[in-house]
Structure 1
Amino acid sequence: MPSTLRRVAAAVAALLLVLLSSVTASAAPRAPVPADRLAAMDAYVRERMQATRTPGLAYAVVDPDGPVHARSWGTDGNGRPVTDATPFLWGSVAKPIAAGAVMTLVQNGRLRLDDRVVDHLPAFRFGGHDHAGRVTVRHLLQQTAGIPESATFAVADCVDADCPDALGRLAALDDVRPLGPPGTTYAYTSANYLVLAALVESVTGRPFADHLRDSVLRPSGMDGAIADRASARARNLPPGHQLLWGVPSAIVDGVDDAGAAYGYTGGDLKDLAAFAALQLRDGKTADGGTVLTPASVSLMRQPGRLRPSGTDTGYGNGTGYGLGWRVGGLEPPLDTAVWHTGATPGYSAMIFVLPERDLALVLQQNLHGLLHDGAVMQVGFGAARILAGGVAGDAPSAAVYHATVWGLTALAVVLLAETLPAYRLLRRGAAPRRLAPSVLWSLAGAAPVVTLVAALALVGSRALWTWAPDAFTALCAAAVAGSAVTTLRGVAAHRRTGRSPGRQ
C-alpha cells in the first residue's frame, strides 16, 4: 500500500508540474520584435515607396493581441495625410476573409464543403450540365473548379451603378471552356469567388456583404471594414492611384457592389490588423468568442491535393492554395507563411501570417498597376522577410511597364508623324519610287492594330482600361495611326504596281 501511494503521489506531482509549466508558459510574455528589426522594416518600406513612387502606405506588425508596431506615410487620393484610420481597398486579400464567411456556414451546418454548387445555385452552368454538376464548394474555395484565369475579366471589376449582381453575372461563364474536370486543375481566378458570393446569397437569402459583416467583420473587430458601395461612401474611401506615363495619378474611384468576395473588401489599417490577429488566435475573437473553430482554421491552411506552380503570382514556385489562403511556396524564412496578396485598380494590400512566430504583417498602399505589379508588391514580401529574420532580397524591376508604355507611345508618335507624308504622297497622285518602304511602313502600322484586336478579344476593353489605362490609350492611338499609315501606303503601293510597264 505505501508503495502504491507513493506511485500515485508521484503521478499527481508530475501532473501538477506539467500543468504548472503549461500555465507558466502561457503566462510568459512574448518576446518583443527586436527594435533594430522594426527600424530596418521602416527604412525598407520607405525606400520602396520612393522607388515605386507610391503616394501613401500603411503597415503593421501584429501579434494575437493586435498591432505591436504600426506606421503610416504619404497622402491619400485626396491629398490628405495617410493615418491608421485611412481606408484602402484590399483586392484579393478579400478571398481568405470571404472564405472565412463561407466556413461559418459550414460550421453551423447550413453548407458542406462537398455540396454540389448546383444544388444551391441552379443558375450555375459553367462548362455544361455535366461539368457544373460536379463542381463543389471546396473546388471553388481551392480554385480547382476548372474556371480559367481569363474568366476574371468577364465577371469582375464592374463598378457602374447598373452592374448586375453576382447571380446575374453567372451567365458569362456558361460558354467558357473548362480547363479540366473539377478538382484536377488549379487556376487562380476571381470568378471562383464571385460564384461563392452568389452561392452564399442563395443559402442565406441575404446580400453577401451583409453576411460577411455579421459572420466575420464585426465579430473580428473590423468595425470600419468596407464591403460594398454604401460602406465605401460611409468611410469616404479616397481614389486610388495608377501610373500614367510614370506619374502616380488619383484616377481610380469605384467599388464593385458584388465584389466583396473576390476583391472589393477594404478598410483601414486597424481593420486589416484585426483580421490578422484573429488568425493568430486560431479564429477566436478578442473577448474569447468564436468566429472560426481551430479545426476550420487548420483546414483552411491545408493546401489542396494539387501543388500549383505559383506562376499566377510570380512570387514563388510550389505555392499551395488552401481554402482562400496561399500556403508556402516562398523562399525561407517565409517558407511556412500563410499569406495572400491583392489588388484592385489603384490599390494593393497583403497579409503574411507567420504561425510559428506568432506574428503577422499587414500592408496596404494606394498604388497599383498590372504592368508593374511585381515592383509595387515587393514592399510587402521584403518587409515580411525582414520581420521573419531574413533579408529583403532584390526588388523586381518596373522595366516591363516602362518599356510597354513608352514603346507604344513612341510607336504611336512615329506612326502619327508618318501619316502626313503618306497623305501628301497620295494626294499628289504620285506613286512611291520603291515598294520596300511602303511595305515596311504598312507592317509597322498593322502591328498595333493586330495587337489591339487580340487584346480586346482576350480581355476586353473594360479590363484594359481598368488595369493599364496609359498602355491601352497608347495602343489605341498607335492602332489608329497605324491604320491610317497602312491604308495610305497601301493605296500608294497599289497605284505603283497597278501601272503598266509602258507608263513607268
Structure 2
Amino acid sequence: MWKSRRRWLGLAAAAGLVVLSADPGFAATAPDEASVRRVVSGFADKAGYPGIAVAITKGDQVLYTGGYGHDSSGASVTAKTPMPGASVSKSFTALAVMQLAEAGKVTLDAPVRDYLPDFRIADPRGTRITVRELLNQTSGITDGTFREKSLPQPVSPAAAVARARDATLAAEPGTRHHYTNTNYHLAARLVEVVTGEPFADYMRRHVFEPIGMRATTTINQTPRDLPNTMRKGYVYAYGMSIPAEEPARFVNGSDGVITTAEDMAQWLITQNNGGKAANGTRLVSATSVTAMHTSSDRRWTYGMGWDNDQKGRIHHSGIWFTYTADQLLLPGGYGIAVMGNSGIGLANEGIYALTDELATLVTGGEPQTGAPVRLIVDLSLAGLTLVSVLLGVRNLRRTRHWASRLANRPSWRLALRLAPRLVPLALLINLPDLLGGLVGGGRDITFLQLCYYSAALVAWSAVATVMNISVLVARVVALVRARRSPEAPPVPEESAQLATR
C-alpha cells in the first residue's frame, strides 16, 4: 500500500498539485487515508486554507498524523510543521495548575490573592476571585470590562498581572461565564509564582517533555517570540490567501503554545487516557482530567480549559488572526486535533468545522463539504463596494442639480437630509465594537485586527464612508454657491427629480 501511496504522491508533486502528507506509522484501526485526504482537501479548498495539519488518535494509539498544502514559504505542511495551538493552549495551562493542586501547592477554591499577592483589580470584589474561577472563566472579568487586545501588550505574565489592575467585573465572581484571555494570563503567572520558574520552563519540564511533545513550546508575545522555524500564516480576502505577520499580542497561558500535529497526537492520548501519556508517564490523575473536562455548574458548559457540547463531546477551539486550531475528544475514545494557517475571519470563525467533518468520518459517517461561504461573503462585500462607488460617483455628478433644486429649503431641513451621509463614517469608527459584540460574543478587537478579520468588510465600510463624505462636502459647497448666486438657473423637471434622490 505504501509503495502505491508514494507513487501517487510523486505523480502529484510532479504535476504541481498540493498534496496531503502522512505519517506511515498508522495503527491497524486507522481511518482510510484517502478519505482523510479528501475531507481535508475539500475543507481547505472551501474555506481558503493553504495548509492544514491533522492528528487523529484512539485510546492510546496514534491513528493518523499528516499535513496538507504548504506554508507561506512554499514548504509542504507536514506532521512536524510548527503551528500555534492558539486558545487550545488554555487546556495546557489548566493541566499545569491541576498538577500544582494535586501536589498540594494550590487549592482551587482559594482566592487567587493567596498565590499572587500582587494581584489587584479596580473592583473590591476581585479579592474573592478563586483559582477555579480563573480556569472556568467565571472570574467576572470580561473583554468588556478589560479590553485586553486594545490595551498596550505586556511582555511577560508578571506584566500581565500588573496591567490587570485596571480591570473591573461584569458580575460577582463565580456567577456567570465570560470567556476572556485575561483569566489565563493570570493563571500562567500563578504557575510562575508558585513554582518559582518561568511559565515556559515549567511547561517544558512538567508537561511537554513528559508527554513526549519535544517540538512544543509556549511564548509570551507575538510576533516577537515566535520560533524561527514557524512561518507567517495567512489572512483571506476576495478568494486570495495573503501571508501576514500575526499582530502584536500577549498570548502566554491563553494562546501561546506552538506545537505540531505529531505532538498534539500525544496530547490527545494523554487526555483520553486519564492523564497518562502514551509512554506511561502520568501527568495528573484521572479525577483531575475529569474535573477539567466537566463543567462545575449547569449554567455553563465550560470546564477548566475544555468545553462540552450537546453531543457529549469535549473540545476547545483556538483562533489567531493568521492561524486557527481545534481539538476534540469523542465519547468513543477518538481524539482529533487540527491546525490551519489561515486566521479567523468573517464566515470563518475557526477550523472546528473540519474537526466535525473528521469526527463524522472516523465514526462511520459521510462528511459533507458544503459551499465556500467565505468566498461568497467576500465576493458579496466586493459587490457592495462596487455599488457604493457607482452610487457615489452618480451623486457627485448630480451635485449641481441637487443644490439648485434645494437651495431655498430651510437649513435645518437640508441638515436632516444630509445627516444620513455620516452614518457610514459612524459605522466605520464603531466597527470593531459592533463586530466584537455581534459576531465575537463581546470579545475585544482593535481596528488593525479587524482588517485581518475581514479586509473586504473594512474596504466596503471605508469606500462607503469616503463616497458619502465626498457627496456631503460637495453638496454643502454647492448649496453655499447656489445661495450666493443672484438666482439659481432653472433645472429641467426630469433632472430635478433625479437630483433629489
TM-score by structure 2 length? 0.78
C-alpha distance in 2 between matches for 1:51 and 1:461:
27
| Unaligned 5+ runs, structure 1 | 1-29, 309-319, 330-334
- The answer (yes or no) to whether the contact 1:300–1:322 under 8 Å persists in 2 is yes
Question: Does 2:210 correspond to 1:206?
Answer: no
Cross-structure match for 2:237: 244
Quick one: which of 228, 233, 257 aligns to 1:265? 257
Quick one: which of 295, 307, 310 aligns to 2:287? 295
Cα distance change of structure 1 residues 304 and 498 upon mapping to structure 2, 3 Å threshold: farther
C-alpha distance in 1 between matches for 2:451 and 2:376:
18
Q: Deviations over 1:202-260 (max 9, x none)?
A: 3333332222222211111111113126996545101101102331111134674x413
Cross-structure match for 2:475: 489
Quick one: which of 177, 180, 186 aligns to 1:189? 180
The aligned amino acid for 1:249 is: I
- The answer (yes or no) to whether the contact 1:419–1:484 under 8 Å persists in 2 is no
Cα distance change of structure 1 residues 383 and 133 upon mapping to structure 2, 3 Å threshold: same
RMSD: 3.6
* Cα drift, residue 76 of structure 1: 0.6
Q: Deviations over 1:357-388 (max 9, x none)?
A: 22211111111232122475311111112222
Quick one: which of 282, 297, 306 aligns to 1:305? 297
Question: Does 2:50 correspond to 1:55?
Answer: yes
The 5-angstrom pairing of residues 145-160 of structure 1 reads 145-150=139-144, 154-156=147-149
Percent of aligned positions that are identical: 26
* Cα drift, residue 472 of structure 1: 2.9
* Cα drift, residue 441 of structure 1: 8.6
* Cα drift, residue 198 of structure 1: 2.8
Cα distance change of structure 1 residues 345 and 178 upon mapping to structure 2, 3 Å threshold: same
Q: Secondary structure at the match of 1:342?
A: strand
The aligned amino acid for 1:245 is: Y
Cross-structure match for 1:144: 138
Q: Deviations over 1:146-202 (max 9, x none)?
A: 2224467x32499x9x84433434465555553311111112222221222233233
The aligned amino acid for 2:305 is: G
Cross-structure match for 1:166: 157
- The answer (yes or no) to whether the contact 2:324–2:344 under 8 Å persists in 1 is no
Cross-structure match for 2:345: 370
Cross-structure match for 1:23: none
Cα distance change of structure 1 residues 202 and 411 upon mapping to structure 2, 3 Å threshold: farther
Cα distance change of structure 1 residues 497 and 389 upon mapping to structure 2, 3 Å threshold: farther
The aligned amino acid for 2:138 is: T
* Cα drift, residue 490 of structure 1: 3.2
Cross-structure match for 1:432: 404
Cross-structure match for 1:343: 319
Count matched residues: 448
* Cα drift, residue 299 of structure 1: 1.0
Question: Does 2:324 correspond to 1:328?
Answer: no
Cross-structure match for 1:91: 86
Question: Does 2:98 correspond to 1:72?
Answer: no
Cross-structure match for 2:214: 223
Q: Secondary structure at the match of 1:307?
A: coil
Q: Deviations over 1:267-316 (max 9, x none)?
A: 211111111111122111333222111121111111121433xxxxxxxx
C-alpha distance in 1 between matches for 2:231 and 2:268:
24
Cα distance change of structure 1 residues 293 and 47 upon mapping to structure 2, 3 Å threshold: same
* Cα drift, residue 497 of structure 1: 6.9
Q: Secondary structure at the match of 1:321?
A: coil
The range that moved more, 92-101 or 459-468, is 459-468
- The answer (yes or no) to whether the contact 1:61–1:67 under 8 Å persists in 2 is yes
The 5-angstrom pairing of residues 375-414 of structure 1 reads 376-392=351-367, 395=370, 397-398=373-374, 401-402=377-378, 405-406=381-382, 409-410=385-386, 413-414=389-390
The range that moved more, 448-457 or 471-480, is 471-480
Question: Does 2:5 correspond to 1:33?
Answer: no
| Unaligned 5+ runs, structure 2 | 1-25, 435-444, 491-501
* Cα drift, residue 484 of structure 1: 3.2
Cross-structure match for 1:315: none
The aligned amino acid for 2:272 is: L
- The answer (yes or no) to whether the contact 2:378–2:456 under 8 Å persists in 1 is no
The aligned amino acid for 1:487 is: V
C-alpha distance in 1 between matches for 2:341 and 2:288:
32
Cα distance change of structure 1 residues 39 and 252 upon mapping to structure 2, 3 Å threshold: same
C-alpha distance in 1 between matches for 2:262 and 2:457:
35
- The answer (yes or no) to whether the contact 1:415–1:485 under 8 Å persists in 2 is no
* Cα drift, residue 339 of structure 1: 1.0
